Structure 1
Amino acid sequence: MARRGRSGKVGRWLILVAVLAALAIGGWAYVTRGWKAAGPLSAETGVTVPEGASLAAAARALEKAGAIRSTTGFLRDVKLFGTTDPIRAGEYAIPARASEAEILALLQSGKVRQRLVVVPEGMPSILVQQRLATQPLLTGPAAIPAEGSVLPDGYSFERNEARAAVLARMQAAMTKALAEEWKRRRPTTAVASPREALILASIVEKETALASERRMVAAVYSNRLRAGMMLQADPTTIYPITHGKPLGRRIRKSELAAVNGYNTYAMAGLPAGPICNPGRASIAAVLDPADSRALYFVADGKGGHVFAETLAQHNANVQRYYALRRARGEM
């Protein structure tokens, strides 16, 4: 009987141990499930972690945004299951239903929300400055950059980044692109320096919107430069009047006769400086123009141009263009 009593006690002890172990495992599983369970956010939400903010401060911001259920619970779970890697400052896009584990990993990754400011090919510097000025998430002033110093592209930025810093990246990109393209120049180019390439590229950029025509337009102006002819490019005549903005009317005779550093109807050679910010493709075009003897071009009425080697051919092309416009009721 004594033996059976001892056996019974051992059995009850084993049962108790098993129950406690099950409770412990169940409790741990419950806590762990909370760490990796879907969070309360129903839609992606932005949360900003200020520079120098502690994990506790970040947790309070997360709770306020509804990304976690409680600051205390999040900090406890981070201590139990998270890594000791530091979090990084910035604005984060917290995905819908993100778990505590996913949120901590995001804050530690530094993959902050990126926004984009786009500079189209051919945008003049005065409009680049305006585009930066009207971006409400940037801070501080940015001066009007030197014409032609900005590479057209899309530039990412973070909330509260300085406008001047974004502009500096745009200009550094142009410096790099121009240097790279200059190294690839062909002997057929008519320009003698990167600066001249930038000036001529800005004219090509304004004269055609078709990628397929860039090298032909570059060839026309290159041929004119070699021959000592006036470039007679309308965009250069307009530039001193509007600084790159649309003119909105026909060019006046007095403007075609004006003597200044940009009017290529009154002077031979390149204008004094770029008339816009040309894209990389236009820079490449003037450094490797098409193999053509064309000296003239005129619109074809379909969005492109017709090119000619002689003035007689050009005049005939102009008359065909005028006839097309008259038929459309545009003249």
Structure 2
Amino acid sequence: MPSGARILALEPVAEMRALLAAAAPSVALVEGAAESIPLPGASVDAVVVAQAFHWFDAIRALSEIHRVLRPGGRLLLAWNRRDESVPWVGAVGDLVHALEAGEPQVRDEAWRGALARSAMFEPFENAAFHHGQRLTHDGVLDRVASISYVAASAPSTRAEVLAAVTAILRSDPETAGRETVELPYDAEVMWAARRTIMAGDLGIVASVNLNGGGVPKPPALGTRILALGLEGDGHNEPEPVHGGPTAAVSLYAQEAIERVREDGHAAFPGAYGENLTLLGIDWAALRAGDRLALGDGGGEEVGDGGALIELTAYAGPCQTIAHWFAGRRIARISHKVHPEDARWYARVLREGPVAPGMAVRRIAVAVG
């Protein structure tokens, strides 16, 4: 039944857009990729990703999807996988997997870890079910031939694979001599709401990013905030260029990232070397001396609370990150031009753990 919804299909490859235009002429086509969606912020109610999320640069894609979704909008992920526990299907799968050459695969489930390393969405719900498609032997061959690795292989390789599939169908007890066979699938659907927090003194850690040095810093499941920085983090140009007690932690806001993206620059958690990306904290209200209490421990008066950090100074942009900016205009995140979108440095007053989803509370410095 028609839903009345306007559907936009995002696809980076011109040939695929042409095929979709022929198959679904009523669908509006948009050239682009999940990591750089050419749509305004808060412009869509739902984003559906089928058979594709495991190909994405997850932190960039999740940040972009969060940006384009309206408050309360939903992200839905879906996969339909052959049930290779069935012997003949497993044998066909072995032929296909031999062509994969180390490309990302949904079955290795690395994408689940990517979801856990971001708190830009509410906890995901999921549903799984088993189903099958009744096909002739030729239908199975057509299905195998349409798999991207098979379709993109050399003609001789493709012919060998299809010949081997034919041999399996003719010899396996479940398929031999049968006019039709059931190709079994396991389907999984996951969905979550966009996490939206009104700007104020309470927020969450949306992403924790660290590495041994250099940018961007990839997302992590969590670590500890130590006196001189995050455990496991480092700098290519250590103190006095980067790091040190007064610049132990680099902070940014997901809301600022999305504003920078709206201006046509590349931005995502960790892109500019920040360690913590926060969601919900009123960034424009921050002042040097403000403190941020992390975790359920609450304020600084709680002796056994979580980590406590104190803002020391804005983090000025440098040429190392200029390639992320259109026209290399790094002033877009300079506190002299856009203080509401600048990064902050902080010193560590109390060590403690940090992880995506952890609560953050701003303790404002007294003024006057």
TM-score norm. by structure 2 comes to: 0.22
Greater relative contact order, per chain length (Cα 8 Å cut-off, separation 6+): 2
TM-score norm. by structure 1 comes to: 0.24
- Name the structure with the higher strand share: 2
- Name the structure with the higher helix share: 1
